[in-house]
Structure 1
Amino acid sequence: MATKALYPVGVAHANNFDFIRVLLATAVVFCHSYGVYDGTIERDPLWRWSGHQLSVGTAAINFFFAISGFLVSQSWTREPHYLRFLQKRVLRIYPGFVAVCLLEALLFGPLGRGWPPAFRAYWSEVGIRGFLFRTATLREPILPPTLLQLPIPNFLNASLWSISYEFVCYQLIALAAVLGAWTKPARILWLFLGLLVLNIGHYPVYQLYNVAGTLDPHLLPYYPALYAERLLTLEHLLLPFTAGMCCYAYRHHLPRSRWGLLLSLLALAGTLRTGVGFEIAQAVFGVYVLLYVSLQQRVTFPRFAQFGDFSYGIYLYGWPLLQLVLLYAQGHLTVGGVFGCTMALVVPVAALSWHLVEKPFLRFKSFPVLPLRS
């Protein structure tokens, strides 16, 4: 009997991507709860088990990028027009991002200085031009001092750093079309393999950066010193993203194999145990496991997102709410208590973000901003 494909031709697919993305967003909040509480991720379980290779949050973000590579590739192949593609991506990313940045400046920042919040005093210190520029370029705005009593002061949202990288990754899908890669998927495979080799070569540098939190640009002399850190991070995130692209390009050919699943899990366990190469293995074997689970048909959650896609909101608002919960708990909560209270707050906030901000803007996805050639 022929081995079934992960994504068989002509089969309508219920999938678990909505459920998985909410789990991943929750995992990021879980990881950040240690960072917020201790000022370090040393107690993060995966950080300890992997020998300081990566945290639960980093693993979750890598999987987010892999899912984006798969699903956004699907979006492109269904409607391969760049302006419409860009329109959809802007409408999905920007409204929620702008909303959380505004709330940081208008609400979270003043609340971070204690109760009662001095709103006008805080607002008067906000640099409007800098705020607008950084928000427009999908970077966390630099805001006045706040949260000064906490282990990580003046850091209103540590989740926003990845959004600009994801938006850059989206452009790779359109570039792949220009290069004819969607009609010749081997080109996407070669792109992934090239990034795999690059990431393996830079693995020691990335691990030093991962542990120290800063990068010595002299370790990457062929990158402009000013951009070395961002370029290293980009090449690192492009690996799981192109893995997702590659899996979509070969979706009808990748086998759905229990042996493949077992070998992938063993490879992940081996790199976790040895303390070397786990994040590289995640982009290869972990993405196979991710898609195996997401596309399996035995246990599905097809109606999980019937009330909305809350994963983006959970991701965006998790960190600032963790910081505020810790501040106002005044030492009366454990790290688990801070995480639990934050989740109780962030889910309804994410629901509001979806229904009041994200979903209304998505209605403009089909709006013809400019005439497009077919």
Structure 2
Amino acid sequence: MTTSDTEAPSTSALSPTAPATSGSSSTVRPGGNLPGLTGARWWAAAAVFLLHALVFLPTYPFQKSELFRTIHQNFLPMQFGATAVTFFFVLSGFIIYWSFRPGTSTVAFLRRRILKLYPTHLVAAAMFIVVASVPLSRIVVWVPNVLLIHTWLPKWTTVGGLNVPSWSLATDLAFYMSFPLVLPLVRRIRVDRLMAWVIGLLAFIILMNVAYHFGLDGPTSTANPFVPRLVPGEVSPSTDLHASQAWFRQQDIPVVPSYWFSYNFPLSRLPEFFVGMIAARMVIEGRWRNTRLTLPLVALAVTYAATYVVPVSFKMSALVVGPMCALIATVAVRDLRGISGFTASRPIVWLGNVSYAFYLIQFPIMVLVSRLVIGGRQFGLLGWVGCTALCFALSLAAAAAIYQWVDLPIMRRFAHVRPRKPVQQAA
């Protein structure tokens, strides 16, 4: 997923950009709240949840039916959730640039990002360890995940060794580490060349995935290669394979190179973060003024439809980065102009605030429901819908509790650097 923070400081924050250069018609003072973007996070998190519920809830015989294959191949393929992750990655670059305060030290910046990223992740990881009975002796399974370094090695033993959705947090961490280095470069881009840089990064993303497709081993057909790992029988098992003891015991689980490089490898996703940063500067400098959602949404629909007819290296993110950038910039401009839509309503904004915890806790909840409710029973489509609804309710309740009792208190207590008291000189 994920960007882990769309909370911004008050509108009194100074602009993170250099003074506007020639070609800039009007600038915006950044740092204010963007409720439409906060609310949009919820829909992306909900899309990931729906896909995960389809593939990670072992509801037999539904998962072995032709109906399931039709739904998974035609309506909820893997790129349905992957597109939402692309949204989070581009949004992360946008929000980090938007909310950055001038003069903030690198240490203070990373301190805030780590405080936002790790506590909720550790709560979800601890819950998964308990409900999945993860053998702590298998250090390779859980330590890299806890540290968020697990996607740097092309082995499913580590990439998918613990709470599966947390793979994207390792990429988020790479984003945050790169930001202090990239920020001065983004500031130096001439205002009239910002769009050219976005187009250049989009072209680089496509060319990078072309290289992965032709230079690395992996599926070359356009069919959806992702299916649940099934076990024999028509009775539901007590857990998905990713949370089973058989999975944890395996010494080495290789990945498909072209898929891992194009989707999981953090460096491959950095350009999406940079696109988001430049998009934020375009909004700040008044270079993106569109407030109509129609064109970005149509472009996103067209590129998403194209993912059905391209190889796997292009299915997961490459085609939709551009439309996601346009959509995020447009929603931000709408927020700045006070155009409130459904995603900016108070209930949806609240859901957006808890979406990070919701994204992380969903898989542990699914493992728990699989053990207590699904295992040993049989389910058709309606049974899967009922189990999904139960997981949704429990995940949302747990996310709200984590946000209220973990995330908010930690950020309020530790995230802000307190100004030093002036030293009084003796009279």
- TM-score > 0.5, shorter chain as reference: yes
Cα contact 1:24–1:60 (8 A) shared by 2: yes
Q: 2:279 aligns with which of 244, 247, 250?
A: 247
Q: 2:417 aligns with which of 356, 367, 371?
A: 367
Report the TM-score when normalising by structure 1: 0.72
What amino acid maps onto 1:98 in structure 2? L
1:35-61 CA-partner distances (Å, limit 9, x unpaired) = 1136989758685359x6x52211111
Q: Against the structure 1 CA distance between its residues 271 and 35, is the aligned structure 2 distance closer, same or farther, given a 3 Å change threshold?
A: closer
Task: Give the 5 Å matches for 1:279-298.
Answer: 279-293=317-331, 295-296=333-334, 297-298=339-340
Structure 1 residue 92 corresponds to structure 2 residue 124 = no
Partners of 1:188 and 1:9 in 2: CA distance: 16
TM-superposed CA distance for 1:275, in Å, is 2.2
Alignment match, 1:165: 171
Alignment match, 2:235: none
What amino acid maps onto 1:24 in structure 2? A
Partners of 2:139 and 2:128 in 1: CA distance: 16
1:295-349 CA-partner distances (Å, limit 9, x unpaired) = 5313253534459821111011111212222332233553322221111101110
Alignment match, 1:118: none
Partners of 2:346 and 2:114 in 1: CA distance: 26
Partners of 2:108 and 2:70 in 1: CA distance: 41
Q: 1:135 aligns with which of 125, 146, 165?
A: 146
Uncovered stretches (5+) of structure 2, i.e. residues with no partner: 1-23, 152-159, 228-253, 422-427
Q: 2:309 aligns with which of 269, 275, 284?
A: 275
Cα contact 1:156–1:319 (8 A) shared by 2: no
Q: Against the structure 1 CA distance between its residues 292 and 32, is the aligned structure 2 distance closer, same or farther, given a 3 Å change threshold?
A: same
Partners of 2:350 and 2:295 in 1: CA distance: 33
Alignment match, 2:128: 104
The 3-state SS of whatever aligns with 1:357 is helix
Cα contact 1:45–1:55 (8 A) shared by 2: no
Q: Against the structure 1 CA distance between its residues 212 and 321, is the aligned structure 2 distance closer, same or farther, given a 3 Å change threshold?
A: closer
The 3-state SS of whatever aligns with 2:320 is helix
Partners of 2:351 and 2:47 in 1: CA distance: 21
TM-superposed CA distance for 1:172, in Å, is 2.6
Q: Which moved more, 1:322-331 or 1:84-93?
A: 322-331
Identity rate, percent: 19
Uncovered stretches (5+) of structure 1, i.e. residues with no partner: 111-121, 141-153, 221-227
Q: Which moved more, 1:330-339 or 1:280-289?
A: 330-339
Alignment match, 1:182: 187
Partners of 1:230 and 1:369 in 2: CA distance: 43
Cα contact 1:188–1:246 (8 A) shared by 2: yes
Alignment match, 1:74: 98
TM-superposed CA distance for 1:76, in Å, is 2.3
Cα contact 1:14–1:302 (8 A) shared by 2: no
Q: Which moved more, 1:31-40 or 1:189-198?
A: 189-198
TM-superposed CA distance for 1:356, in Å, is 2.0
What amino acid maps onto 1:287 in structure 2? C
Partners of 2:115 and 2:38 in 1: CA distance: 18
Q: Which moved more, 1:247-256 or 1:40-49?
A: 40-49
Q: 1:32 aligns with which of 36, 47, 52?
A: 52
Q: Against the structure 1 CA distance between its residues 255 and 170, is the aligned structure 2 distance closer, same or farther, given a 3 Å change threshold?
A: same
TM-superposed CA distance for 1:128, in Å, is 8.4
Partners of 1:44 and 1:249 in 2: CA distance: 42
Partners of 1:298 and 1:16 in 2: CA distance: 7
Q: 2:295 aligns with which of 262, 266, 286?
A: 262
What amino acid maps onto 1:15 in structure 2? P
Task: Give the 5 Å matches for 1:284-363.
Answer: 284-293=322-331, 295-296=333-334, 297-299=339-341, 301=344, 303-304=346-347, 305=349, 309-330=353-374, 331-333=377-379, 334-363=383-412
The 3-state SS of whatever aligns with 1:86 is helix
Q: Note the aligned Cα RMSD (angstroms).
A: 4.0
Alignment match, 1:9: 28
Partners of 2:149 and 2:139 in 1: CA distance: 14
